[in-house]
Structure 1
Amino acid sequence: MDQADQADRTDTEAPPPTLGVGMVGYAFMGAAHSQGWRTAGRVFDLPARPVLAAVCGRDRTAVRAAAEKHGWAAAETDWRDLIARDDVQIVDICTPGDSHAEIAIAALAAGKHVLCEKPLANTVEEAEAMVAAAARAGLNGQVAMVGFNYRRAPAIAYARRLIAEGRLGALRHVRVTYLQDWLVDPEFPLAWRLQREHAGSGALGDLGAHIIDLAQYLAGEPVVGVSALTETFVRERPLPAGSVTGLSGGGGAGRGQVTVDDAALFTGRLASGALASFEATRMASGRKNALRLELNGERGSLAFDLERLNELSFHDHTEPAASSGFRRILVTEPDHPYLEAWWPPGHALGYEHTFVHQARDLVAAVATGTEPAPSFADGLQVQRVLAAVEESAAKNAAYTLVPSQEA
């Protein structure tokens, strides 16, 4: 194609339509989502171009500062006003779990597409209502997706491909851990993530939701049974600056009660009969964001470590024992998931890219009218497992070993 033909083509091609995004919430997750929306259309050839139309938060000064920092065209202080905007077609919910259902259901009723952070809700009943609303909206071509961003790490997506191709054979074991340490200090303030009325649960929902979703996504089957333990190690914490004394039923002046778990430990069974183990804690000193998983099957094994985001460890058990073993797969080739639009092989991606890939996948679902993955129904399945873990932990009658009295 010569320069004249190229110019003619450029002049006649219509630009892709735009999709206005309105985001509710602007803190940690809001910043990550903003990065995804800003970048997706600049890296991938999308059927529609995301536009950062408006961001919403209750503090007028803070939300305006967030809009300026992250590139949003406007700021709102009431999520109802954001949903009502004509320039918003996608509502992205990055708020605490206690508001997910109300905002998502209202947005879907208003004709918007919805992306909602995980976990989908604080209760199974709320999640069921959200799934029903998404089903009704789907009849009008709307889509609703839950934000389990770790699915979008290329290594995780490639692991799913290998497992679906049968490279591990029948699964025997799935083990997943997610360890953080930001609550080890007992004087860390009583943030909203430590209050059941806002967060729903503690490490279980915050971290456990991710590893439950990853286990089910990679295995390609649901968790059907659990046996669990949970623990709250620090039961009272200082109230944040500006809080009302006695928040959440606090016991002492200036302190409040922690009403969620600090750690959850549970085993599970998948539909095929494979066994699974899960550990989620925010009290593992020295561990910042340590998500690790391993799947063992009759024909091989796969392992992933979030601190080595671009790598998989793979063992092919069909190879001769003398030369077999785990080998490193560097997931940076252009035929690996999502990598066709990024850098040459060997140039690693990071955490923020999972949100770019999330935005890409949602825009593609909106453009084609297909149900995105993970859907609200997938989020409901995770919510049911979370509820089962809490029920099991509450009912668990621990068997106490009595020391022998024999000499």
Structure 2
Amino acid sequence: MHDDKPTLGVGMVGYAFMGRVHSQAWRTVGAFFDLPVKPTLAVLCGRSREAVTATAEQFGWAAVETDWKELINRDDVQIVDICTPGDSHAEIAIAALEAGKHVLCEKPLANTVGEAEAMAAAARAAAAKGVRSMVAFNYRRVPAVALARRLVADGKIGEIRHVRAQYLQDWIVDPEFPLVWRLQKDKAGSGALGDIGAHIIDAVAFITGQRLAGVSAITETFIKERPLAEASSGLAASGGRERGPVTVDDAALFIGRLTGGGLASFEATRFASGRKNALRIEINGSLGSLYFDFESMNELWFHDHTLPAEESGFRRIIATEPGHPYMDAWWPPGHGLGYEHTFTHEVRDFLTAIAEGTDPTPSFDDGLWVQRVLAAVEKSAADDSRYVPVEDR
């Protein structure tokens, strides 16, 4: 069959944990979704030619570069996918947008509000010329999470009263775990707050359609010093004898009020022993409640409070029906999806928006708002939990 769909070459910067996940998404999305365009894996970029070449061969990238500026200058690249630590997001994204390349950027958008503001301004200027950009909050693309958003929008739980959001991990509980880049403020911006707290800030806004108006927060760094990392891959690492300071938070807790009046609490920690990737959100409304836990990612729990007490209670929805978000492209009902599929859905939505000439979400402006929340949390925690408003414009 002749395929006359326009082709878009993808150039990705970064080849480690996120780079591998994004690679899998780009190479599989067209096999399951009927896309208006055809993505090709044009070039993968990383500082180590040996390592980036090995990843490129594993996932099917056609070429490699060791300088992201060379990647942006290539004629076979129309999309730039940024999977690097946060300290390089702004420079790469702004350069790519000014070069007329569509940009997908991992979260959080940047390391500072100033960087995020510059990125959002560049995105708005590029959008006026038909160049699209999106920040990669992949948990929006979990079918059960997207279904929760639909139920809230349809009024199934009524007026939102309470939101409880947690993101719990345990991969740095060991005090001898090495000082990887995620534990260094100059590279990561913040610790658990930005790495995983950013996800629940965005997910709550996505599901409820409401944003945090302000926060009161506390943060803590439990382990002040760690062995310097000698090697790392994903969330695994090995260290040596020399040690260095941890310059980010290990845990962050904050409360706030939503723009619709509801109360919200957030907890992000990498010290919840036994919890591997427990992104949990519970929403209580005047007519019912919803509950989600990513460690059971194909399930959404729904309580209909309008039923008689004798019949009511939480019921489990297996979010694998063809009518559930994204599921018509996958397996028969009951055959669940996994972590990687959220990224496939992400690039599917991004490609569709590019082809249709619409602005994808979450936008760089959405990412900027999350960055402002992160900054407000840090400011509040540094000032005895004083309430700090979040700018939303």
Q: What are the residue-to-residue correspondences of 1:347-362 with 2, within 5 Å?
A: 347-362=335-350
Give the equivalent residue in structure 1 for 2:67: 78
- How far off is 1:129 after superposition? 0.5
Q: Distance in 2 between matches of 1:40 and 1:172?
A: 38
Tell me which amino acid in the other structure corresponds to 2:69.
R
Q: CA–CA distance in 1 between the matches of 2:127 and 2:308?
A: 51
Structure 1 Cα separation of the partners of residues 373 and 60 of structure 2: 37
Equivalent of 1:213, from 202, 209, 220?
A: 202
The one-letter amino acid paired with 2:254 is F
State the distance in 1 between where 2:203 and 2:309 align. 30
Structure 2 match to 1:387: 375
SS at the partner of 2:155? Answer: coil
Q: Would you say 1:59 and 2:48 are equivalent positions?
A: yes
CA, structure 1 residues 50+164, in 2 after alignment: closer, same or farther (shift >3 Å)?
same
Matches within 5 A, 1:37-52: 37-52=26-41
Once superposed, which parts of structure 1, at least 4 consecutive aligned residues long, lie more than 4 Å away?
none
- Which of 216, 220, 223 is the matching residue for 1:231? 220
User: What SS does the aligned partner of 1:280 have?
Assistant: strand
Q: Who is 1:191 aligned against?
A: 180
- 1:323 corresponds in structure 2 to 311
Alignment partners' CA distance in 2, 1:282 and 1:329: 29
In structure 2, list runs of 5 or more residues that go unmatched.
233-239, 387-393
Q: State the partner residue of 1:339.
A: 327
**What whole-Å deviation, never above 9, does each CA across 1:194-222 have from its counterpart, x for those lacking one?**
11000000000001000000111111011
1:165 aligns to what? 154
Indicate if the aligned counterparts of 2:217 and 2:385 stay in contact, CA closer than 8 A: no
Structure 2 Cα separation of the partners of residues 94 and 283 of structure 1: 25
- Give the Cα separation in 1 of the matches to 2:231 and 2:59: 27
CA distance 1:242–1:355, shift in 2 (3 Å): closer
Deviation at 1:364, TM superposition (A): 0.2
| 1:353-378 CA-partner distances (Å, limit 9, x unpaired) | 00100010000011011110111111
1:368 to 350, 356, 360: 356
Match of 1:22 in 2: 11
Structure 2 partner of 1:200: 189
Deviation at 1:287, TM superposition (A): 1.1
How far the C-alpha of 1:397 sits from its partner, in A, is 6.0
Q: Deviations over 1:245-303 (max 9, x none)?
A: xxxxxxx9711010000000111110011000111001111111111110000011000
The AA in structure 2 aligned to 1:310 is: N
Deviation at 1:98, TM superposition (A): 0.4
Show the counterpart of 2:384.
Answer: 396
Alignment partners' CA distance in 2, 1:62 and 1:358: 26
Is the aligned partner of 1:150 residue 2:139?
yes
Whole-angstrom CA distance in 2 between matches of 1:88 and 1:344: 36
Query: Which residue identity lines up with residue 50 of structure 1 in the other structure?
Result: P
Q: CA RMSD in A?
A: 1.4
The code of the aligned residue for 2:382 comes to A
Q: What SS does structure 1 have at the residue aligned with 2:161?
A: strand
Question: 2 CA distance for matches of 1:396 and 1:370?
Answer: 43
How far, CA to CA, are the matches of 1:357 and 1:195 in structure 2? 31
Separation of aligned partners in 2, 1:242 and 1:322: 58
* Structure 1 residues 314 and 93: CA distance shift in structure 2, 3 A: same
Task: Give the distance between the partners of 2:29 and 2:347, measured in 1 at CA.
Answer: 6
Shift of 1:15: 2.1
% of aligned pairs identical? Answer: 70
Q: SS at 1:291's partner residue? A: strand
Q: Which residue of 2 aligns with 1:91?
A: 80
What secondary structure is seen at the aligned counterpart in 1 of 2:230? coil
Q: How high is the TM-score relative to the length of structure 1?
A: 0.91
Where do 5+ consecutive residues of structure 1 fail to align? 1-9, 244-251, 399-407
- The one-letter code of the counterpart of 1:273 is G
Q: Distance in 2 between matches of 1:17 and 1:260?
A: 44
State the TM-score, normalizing by the size of structure 2. Answer: 0.95
Larger Rg: 1
* Deviation of the 1:305 alpha carbon: 0.8
Structure 1: which amino acid aligns with 2:266? F
SS for the counterpart of 2:34 is coil
The answer to whether the 8 Å contact 2:36/2:352 transfers is yes
Among 118, 121, 137, the residue aligned to 1:129: 118
Q: Secondary structure at the match of 2:248?
A: coil
CA contact (8 A) 2:169 2:270 kept: yes
**2-structure distance, mates of 1:58, 1:114:** 20
**Cα distance between partner residues in 2 of 1:315 and 1:336:** 18
CA 1:89 to 1:132, structure 2 compared with 1: closer, same or farther past 3 Å? Answer: same
Which of the numbers 57, 61, 67 marks the counterpart of 1:68? 57
How much has 1:91 moved relative to structure 2? 0.2
CA change 1:343–1:303 in 2 (3 A) is same
* Residue 100 (str. 1) matches residue 89 (str. 2): yes
1:294 is aligned, of 282, 293, 308, to 282
* Structure 2 residue 110 is matched with structure 1 residue 110: no
Query: What is the CA–CA distance in structure 2 between the aligned matches of 1:381 and 1:397, rounded to whole Å?
Result: 20
Structure with the bigger percentage of strand: 2
Q: Secondary structure at the match of 1:261?
A: coil
Paired residues in the alignment total 379
Q: Which amino acid aligns with 1:266?
A: F
Secondary structure of residue in 1 paired with 2:213? strand
